[in-house]
Amino acid sequence: MAKVFVFLEGNNQDLKKGSLELLTAAKASGREVVAGLVGPGVKALAPKAAHYGAQTTFVCDAAELGHYNPETFTDAVTAMVKDSGADVVLASSSVLARDLFPRVAARLDSGVASDCTILKLDGGTVTVRKPLYSGKCTAEVEFVNSPVKIVLMRPNQLPVGQPDAAATAQTKDFPAPAASGKIKTKDLVKGSSSKTDLAEANIIVAGGRGMGSAENFKQLEDLANALGATVGASRAVADAGWVPHSMQVGQTGKTVAPSLYIAFGISGAIQHLAGMSGSKVIVAVNKDGDAPIFQKATYGLVGDLFELAPKLTEEFKKALHK
């Protein structure tokens, strides 16, 4: 039976939503599903991989894999893909995967398509669609003469299936590859936010230059807390130092695709739209009725955000926390 290898990523001792989406798609394809996990403590995630469709899970679980190292991760994942015999590899288009999989593809003499939004796995053919030129157009890409087809999907594009708590999978351990020592991550400093990462968030409340100051972002934090959302920002705001660059959405920031994106005081420059136009519902709040963001918005509120943000927060609190 044809096989698909799914590279899984975890967060806070759980599989990321993007990984569950990929397992669901792999299972629905009717192929045999082999999952791969790399990092310290990842073996604990193997049962959940089975619940979502993995029939076999390859595990490279070692303390020295705590910090991403392109050399050791490339060795580990290449060994897993070769061992699996899969001709299709799926991974989330995360920062880690976009660094890792071109290296794996080179080892396997194969093609890789990143940042994909649509995946078709029909028999032996793999076709994907991906945005180009900051989302001005999309391209359909088919793999030709590629022994292994590597697809990196944007998170939040595919449904997550119902888990089968009774499902079990075989696991196979892989040894941690030896590091060449060419590079070494010495320290990793975590950000202060306990919120869901922007790229994975289901709801995003974002602020632009119209917020006026760093302090005013408190209003968006309040709204985000009421909604269970993550706060994002335009580049103008990150460049001004009001928020860290990790919160920037757009061409040179993060690409997001939440169910709901609420933009406050963001004009809608093409570079910002490039990062968020895949959102399912876009709400724009801007005092300028001609702001370009309204052309992309599902719903628009023309008015002063300092009046509208607190009102929205109150209404959402009433509606959601009765």
Ligand X SMILES: Cc1cc2nc3c(=O)[nH]c(=O)nc-3n(C[C@H](O)[C@H](O)[C@H](O)COP(=O)(O)OP(=O)(O)OC[C@H]3O[C@@H](n4cnc5c(N)ncnc54)[C@H](O)[C@@H]3O)c2cc1C
**Other Cβ atoms closer than 10 A to 57:** 25
Nearer of residues 8 and 309 to ligand X, judged by Cβ: 309
Q: Which parts of this chain interact with ligand X (CB under 6 A)? A: 208-210, 234-237, 248, 250-253, 265-267, 269, 271-272, 275, 285-288, 291, 304-306
Nearer of residues 58 and 261 to ligand X, judged by Cβ: 261
Nearer of residues 193 and 252 to ligand X, judged by Cβ: 252
Shortest separation between residue 197's beta carbon and ligand X, angstroms: 17
Nearer of residues 169 and 284 to ligand X, judged by Cβ: 284
Question: What is the arrangement of strands in the sheet containing 125-132, beginning at the earlier edge strand?
Answer: 118-122, 125-132, 137-142
Smallest Cα–Cα separation from 262: which of 196, 308, 205?
A: 205
**What would the two tokens of residue 303 be?**
């008015």
Shortest separation between residue 47's beta carbon and ligand X, angstroms: 39
Shortest separation between residue 215's beta carbon and ligand X, angstroms: 14
Shortest separation between residue 135's beta carbon and ligand X, angstroms: 12
Q: Are 198 and 233 in contact (CB under 8 A)?
A: no
Shortest separation between residue 290's beta carbon and ligand X, angstroms: 9
Q: Are 92 and 18 in contact (CB under 8 A)?
A: yes
Shortest separation between residue 10's beta carbon and ligand X, angstroms: 27
Nearer of residues 111 and 253 to ligand X, judged by Cβ: 253
Tell me the HSE value of 176 on the side-chain side, using a 13 A CA sphere.
Answer: 18
Nearer of residues 282 and 285 to ligand X, judged by Cβ: 285
Q: Are 21 and 159 in contact (CB under 8 A)?
A: yes
Shortest separation between residue 155's beta carbon and ligand X, angstroms: 18
Shortest separation between residue 115's beta carbon and ligand X, angstroms: 14
Q: Which residues of 220-232 are buried (b: 16+ CB within 10 A; e: fewer)?
A: bebbbebbebbbb
Smallest Cα–Cα separation from 309: which of 291, 284, 289?
A: 284
Nearer of residues 128 and 305 to ligand X, judged by Cβ: 305
β-bridge partners, 2: none
CA-CA distance, 176 to 64, in Å (whole number)? Answer: 8
Q: Which residues of 301-317 are buried (b: 16+ CB within 10 A; e: fewer)?
A: beeebeebbeebbeebe
Nearer of residues 173 and 307 to ligand X, judged by Cβ: 307
3-state SS of 66-99 is: CCCCHHHHHHHHHHHHHHHCCCEEEEECCHHHHH
Burial class (CB in 10 A: 0-12, 13-18, 19+), 209: middle
